Amino acid sequence: MRFWDASAVAPLLFEEAGSELVRVWLEEDADMVLWGLSRLELVSAVERRAREGVLDAAARAAALLRIDRMANDAHEVTDLSAARVRAMALLARYPLRAADAAQLGAALLVADPDPFSLTMVVLDRRLAEAAQREGLRVLSWPT
């Protein structure tokens, strides 16, 4: 079981840098954990691409369906209060955006009490670094 940040899920929806990498990781362990608002982040990415003309109507519909399937099959962290408390503390320690701090806070909830017990899949370098510092195992871009 691995915790997937939205930055690592998006390349499963669209062919982009990192797509091959994350597909391999998903094949290795398909048991996915997602933050409760990841679906919102992913839909936002689809709709932005559709507005920009990068996705046509069929590709948009296929991506939205894939999000629903992945999110419905995943374990979803929905404890907003506990994730928010952890995220606020993380914002004091790391230069993260609020959504990224929430992702990391949710991952730490899943891993509690042993952060090293969970692997976080993340392609956002800043978030990956913070996750490592918090003790999570991290799958990210090769260094």
Q: What is the pLDDT of residues 130-140, one digit of tens each?
A: 999 999 999 99
CA 101/CA 78 separation, integer angstroms: 15
Residue 128: give the domain boundaries.
Answer: 2-139
If phi > 0 it is left, if psi is from -120 to 50 it is alpha, else beta; for residue 119 that is beta
Number of domains in the chain: 1
Say yes or no to pLDDT of 53 above 80: yes
For the chain, the distance separating the N- and C-terminal CA atoms, rounded to the nearest angstrom, is 23
CA atoms within 13 A on the CB side of 22: 25
- State the pLDDT at residue 73: 97
pLDDT tens for 2-26 read: 999 999 999 999 999 999 999 999 9
Q: How many CB atoms lie within 10 A of CB 85?
A: 13
Say yes or no to pLDDT of 143 above 80: no
- State the pLDDT at residue 72: 96
Q: Can you give the CATH number for the domain in which 79 is found? A: 3.40.50.1010
